[in-house]
Structure 1
Amino acid sequence: MAAAPLLVPTDATAVDLAGGWHDRWTLIRSIDTSLKYLKSPAAAAVYPREGVSRSRLASSLKHFREILKTAPDAQSFSARVLRDFQLYQVDPKPDSPEVLITGYYAPIYRASLKPTATFRYPLYRKPADLVTSGERGLGQATARGIQPYPTRYEIEKQNLLAGQEIVWLADPLERFLVHVQGSARLQLTDGTTRSIGFAAKTDRPYRSIGKALVEDGKIRPEDLTLQAVKDYFKAHPDELESYLYKNDSYVFFRWTDDGGPYGSLGWPVTAMHSAAMDKRVFPPGALLFIQAELRDGPLRQFVLDQDTGAAIRGRGRLDLFVGTGPEAEYRAGQINSAARLYYLLLKNPAS
């Protein structure tokens, strides 16, 4: 049986696009990032995708950018977009038109360039024996060929990557959350602040410790947020390690002091306008519209597919980058909802 189409042309009259005009200057910055990416050899290697050519996507982004710049108000903006663009709804499953959206952020943590009695939990650079294809880990290079890379438990408990440390954190859960979020701002003991970002990950599967807590009856499904997870382990510190090691996947990092946080396309991500999606499925750099009902109100947002995530796999997932620091952490923790996603492409592209 053939797979259902991923992108389904849809009637856009019921989609409320007008709200996207109000944050247009930040959105334009994110569009410019995608346009830079589309000029790159990396983009040329992956397009066309889902029947979408690189030239059609670039033309669509340029035209949408021009509407953002020139529309005098939200209503005019919406009318022009509906006139010139075809919306394609993401159809993840035959029985459901909705995907799960979550939020991620770049935390700010204290750290040290040297291990101390306080700073004992290292982050590692990409090891030489990790075999990758793009950003995806394939395994460990050994004399017997490529083998599964050691698990999180093996790497940390057996100190397998001694000498590959780039920085040390003061808390094991903070270290784990940097792995989950993929980047962080680090306030170092020498008084400087530096940024780290994703470099690579192992081939091991990702498992959410939040979902594990729900499965074990520790947190109710409706109460699951990042803050709830942190509160649980603050009250039950003796359980933390066993839950961390339920996730075999491991992430490696690099310094990104020239800006960022960076997405998987190699360019900085933009708060509330960059999203992580599965690049094996969706066209990277493309423009989407999110329509969702969150805990704190409706979300009507234009985003661009500019990142990936260990837990973001398949048709039914999107992770929205919310920003950096404590406020972004809280906001990201509130995003865990069903949503409808719409791609926007020009009806009559120039090429």
Structure 2
Amino acid sequence: MRKTLALASLSLGIALVHTIWPAVAQVPTTIPLPVPLPTQPSTSPELQIPLEPVEISNTCTPVSTCLGWDEQIFGSPGKSGDRKALLAAIDNSLSYLARDSAIAAYKDYPVPGITHDRVRRSLLRFRQLVATAKSASQLRAAIQREFVFYKSVGNDGKGTVKFTAYYEPIYQASRVKTSIYKYPLYRLPPNFDQWAKPHPKRIDLEGKDGLLGDKSQLRGLELLWFRDRLDAYMVHIQGSAQIRLTNGKTTSVGYAGGTDYPWTSIGKELAKDGKLPLEGLTMPRLISYFRQNPLELNNYLPRWERFVFFKEVPGRKATGSTNVPVTPERSIATDKSLMPHGALALINGSFPYPAAGGKLQPRTVSRFVLDQDTGSAIKGPGRVDYFMGTGQLAGDRAGITGGNGSLYYLLLKK
């Protein structure tokens, strides 16, 4: 999905401007933050080594920063855990790693010691441990005994990772154009690989108002029609969507290709023009602004010059760049030029969760996740996009996710 699932944090670019949530809960079982071990120097001064092997200690001193462990696998009193979801995500990564494309992806991986075979064996062993462990403490002990942690160097060289989140939206659309449903989503042109570069920009393909229609070179490639231009644009950003059709049926659309332009943050563009403050700019605030000022869409949406094409994939679940389904709160997107495809990771960060009264409150958590996706706004070792799931609640949570945390990959010691 995103490039298959597509870009960062639900955002229109808000991924880059979220504020950090304060922690309201501590992970109950913690250990000290790992200390970097010596690493093999790079043979090229330009090669960025994104991960460092680190040592895990069994004690936690009052002055140390502690690394949390995933307690949600086993649940808590009165609440079931999500072990089944984690196992499903592991199986999806194992399915990916069985392909020739996965073997090719690891051919020139930049971190010494991280190989396709080691990643695959690590997942197989971790799956066995998760399936048989009776408690979080038992799983933790086995992991400390058998696995090595590789910590992301982050965006500052000290392990600081910026987290955002994304989701799969559900929108209403029509198979035919009407006076209400008039904003199209397009199929990939059959000759797209022959298009000259630089590619046409968004404004060239759909017009300033999104209604270029018969004058567009994409005429006849319309896949679906939306009543709201912002909805169609959001599908471009997320890269896939579940669709409720006007005839009562449902379908899905997925990423099929895109023009060769970089990510542009619409949120940053609004802030640059003084329309909204950069601090605290979230997706709900951005959407509210465009609902109140619909003509501003004509000014700001064309600033993201990239244009995305889609295909209909009825019944298909949200799918990552590894071409396997992504699992809510168990899949992440990273920069795949740096991070190991399909691998097992542990994230520590703060994310919003439903609370009393229908509010969302931040909670500091640790989660075992599978690295199964990417996005054009996810660049460098200090960026992670966290898949929240499908629908409105997932979108509400993704829209206000943003903050710093840490990222570790787990591999067998031998």
Q: Which TM-score applies when normalising by structure 1?
A: 0.91
Q: What is the letter of the counterpart of residue 320 of structure 1?
A: Y
Question: Post-superposition shift, 1:257?
Answer: 1.4
**1:83 pairs with one of 128, 131, 145:** 145
User: Are 1:31 and 2:97 counterparts?
Assistant: no
Corresponding residue of 1:151: 201
**Map of 1:99 onto structure 2:** 161
Would you say the 8 A contact 1:130–1:149 is kept in 2?
no
Q: Which amino acid aligns with 2:375?
A: G
Identity within the alignment, %: 39
- 2:404 matches 1:338: yes
1:241 is aligned, of 287, 298, 301, to 298
Q: Which residue of 1 aligns with 2:382?
A: 316
Change (3 A) 1:94 1:210: closer
2:70/2:367 contact within 8 Å kept: no
Q: What is the RMSD of the two structures over their aligned residues, measured on CA atoms?
A: 1.7
Question: What is the Cα deviation at residue 217 of structure 1?
Answer: 2.9
Higher strand share: 1
Q: Does 1:9 align with 2:71?
A: no
SS of equivalent to 1:114: coil
Equivalent residues in 2 for 1:88-167, closer than 5 Å: 88-131=150-193, 141-142=194-195, 146-157=196-207, 158=212, 159-167=216-224
Equivalent-residue separation in structure 2 for 1:236 and 1:111 (angstroms) = 22
Work out whether residues 263 and 307 of structure 1, in 8 Å CA contact, stay in contact via their aligned partners in 2: yes
Alpha-carbon distance in structure 2 between the residues aligned to 1:90 and 1:161: 42
Name segments (4+ residues, structure 1) moved above 4 Å.
Answer: none
Aligned residue among 117, 137, 140 for 1:55? 117
SS in 2 for 1:103: strand
What residue in structure 2 maps to residue 189 of structure 1? 246
The answer as to 2:268 corresponding to 1:224 is: no
Please, which of 296, 306, 309 is the counterpart of residue 372 of structure 2? 306
Aligned 1:199-278 pairs, distance under 5 A: 199-278=256-335
Deviation at 1:111, TM superposition (A): 0.2
Shift in Å at residue 307 of structure 1? 1.4
Match of 1:138 in 2: none
* Cα deviation 1:106-140 (Å, max 9, x = unaligned): 11111011111111111111122323xxxxxxxxx
The CA deviation at 1:251 is: 1.2
* Partner amino acid, structure 2, of 1:181: Q
The structural deviation recorded for 1:254 is 1.2
- Render the CA deviation track for 1:173-204: whole Å, top value 9, x for unaligned: 11111111111111101110111111112111
Alpha-carbon distance in structure 2 between the residues aligned to 1:18 and 1:273? 11
User: When the two structures are aligned, how many residues end up with a matched partner?
Assistant: 336
| Alpha-carbon distance, 1:266 to partner | 1.4
| Cα distance between partner residues in 2 of 1:15 and 1:96 | 15
Structure 1: which 5+ runs fail to align? 132-140
Q: Secondary structure at the match of 2:305?
A: coil
Structure ranking higher on relative contact order (CA contacts 8 Å, 6+ apart): 2
Residues 20 and 302 in structure 1, CA contact (< 8 A), matched pair in contact too: no
- Contact kept, 8 Å, 1:4 with 1:94, in 2: the verdict is no
Partner of 2:105: 46
Q: Structure 2 vs 1, CA of residues 121 and 12 (structure 1 numbering), >3 Å: closer, same or farther?
A: farther
Distance 1:223 1:257 in 2: 37
CA distance in 2, matches of 1:187, 1:93: 40
